[in-house]
């Protein structure tokens, strides 16, 4: 699974206009997303480390396209893009199926409240957030995330993040995401952190116990 990636986002100085004012958010369907594949792959590379050797970047680009193709085929796939005169960001994902397959490989017992929300079809997984570095202010990734989740009226957001991706983990924590624990996927050696974002007062109340636990579970 792809996890959210953010570039080194630009924070405007005092008196400097925010480029957010010129940014438009637009929802696209799976067919339009397929047509944007090359641009999305470019954005994926731009949002990562520029010091990565070209050969590795090519492999990373193809890996991303393969993951994106798999996500697009998922029932309910959705994407929100951010654009000015060109593509500058996107967020995408799909509803978590009620069979709980998303949580395969979770280490330990999944909290009952999460199981219930999954069974009711109220969980939406964000599998990718990409933002072009040095162009947008710090709110862009969060704004994309919020639009994607609100469009689906989800009760709970879910995502998996490489446990070594500390900048992304720190960003998500500051936005209110809660850490549930480790998830291991048989398809690769990476260990992920499973994070959830309660949406709405009722869901937040149901996950009240996790709010305290999140502070102790979060990796240092």
pLDDT, tens digit, for every residue of 151-164? 988 899 999 998 88
Structure tokens at 143: 């704004």
Largest CA-CA distance found in the chain, in angstroms, rounded: 51
Name the 3-class secondary structure at 60: helix
pLDDT band at residue 85 under the 50/70/90 scheme:
confident
Planar angle of CA 116, 143, 76, nearest 5 degrees: 45
Average pLDDT of the segment spanning 172-195: 85
Average pLDDT of the segment spanning 2-23: 45
pLDDT of residue 141: 87
Assess whether pLDDT exceeds 70 at residue 23.
Answer: yes
Structure tokens at 176: 């209110």
89-111 b/e with 16+ CB inside 10 Å = b?
bbbbbbbbbeeeebbeebeeeeb
Phi, psi of 39 (to 5 degrees): -65, -40
Average pLDDT of the segment spanning 67-84: 94
- Report if residue 99 sits inside a domain: yes
- Report if residue 67 sits inside a domain: yes
User: What is the residue-averaged pLDDT of the chain?
Assistant: 79
- Domain CATH code at residue 74: 3.40.630.30
Compute CA distances 190 → 1, 7, 41, 130, 186, whole Å.
10, 21, 21, 20, 9
Note the pTM of the prediction, 2 decimals.
Answer: 0.80
pLDDT of residue 211: 52
| Closest among 140, 135, 133 to 16, alpha carbons compared | 135
- Report if residue 9 sits inside a domain: no
Quick one: what percent of the chain has pLDDT higher than 70?
76
- Report if residue 91 sits inside a domain: yes
- Report if residue 102 sits inside a domain: yes
Within 10 angstroms of residue 147's Cβ, the number of other Cβ atoms is 15
Average pLDDT of the segment spanning 172-193: 85
- Report if residue 159 sits inside a domain: yes
Phi, psi of 197 (to 5 degrees): -125, 105
**Rg (Cα) of the chain, in Å, rounded?**
17
- Report if residue 11 sits inside a domain: no
pLDDT band at residue 34 under the 50/70/90 scheme:
very high
Contacts of 212 (CB under 8 A, 6+ apart): none
Instruction: Identify the domain containing residue 160 by its residue range.
Output: 22-217
**Contact criterion met (CB below 8 Å) for 75 and 93:** no
Higher-confidence residue of 217 and 103: namely 103
- Report if residue 6 sits inside a domain: no
pLDDT band at residue 4 under the 50/70/90 scheme:
very low
What is the DSSP code (8-state) at residue 109? P
Average pLDDT of the segment spanning 154-177: 89
Number of domains comprising the chain? 1
């Amino acid at each position: 699974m792809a996890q959210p990636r953010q570039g080194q986002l630009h924070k405007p100085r005092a008196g400097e206009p925010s480029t957010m004012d010129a940014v438009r958010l637009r929802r696209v369907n799976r067919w339009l997303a397929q047509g944007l594949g090359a641009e999305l792959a470019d954005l994926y590379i731009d949002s990562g480390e520029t010091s990565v050797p070209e050969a590795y970047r090519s492999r990373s680009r193809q890996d991303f396209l393969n993951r994106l193709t798999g996500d697009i085929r998922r029932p309910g796939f959705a994407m929100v893009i951010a654009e000015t005169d060109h593509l500058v960001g996107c967020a995408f994902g799909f509803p978590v199926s009620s069979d709980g397959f998303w949580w395969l490989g979770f280490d330990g017992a999944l909290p009952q409240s999460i199981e219930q929300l999954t069974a009711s079809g109220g969980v939406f997984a964000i599998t990718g957030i990409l933002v072009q570095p040095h162009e947008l202010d710090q709110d862009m990734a969060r704004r994309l995330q919020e639009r994607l989740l609100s469009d689906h009226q989800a009760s709970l957001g879910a995502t998996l993040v490489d446990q070594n991706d500390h900048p992304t983990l720190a960003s998500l924590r500051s936005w209110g995401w809660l850490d549930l624990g480790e998830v291991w996927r048989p398809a690769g050696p990476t260990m992920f952190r499973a994070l959830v974002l309660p949406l709405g007062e009722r869901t937040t109340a149901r996950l009240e116990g996790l709010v305290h636990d999140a502070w102790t579970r979060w990796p240092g």
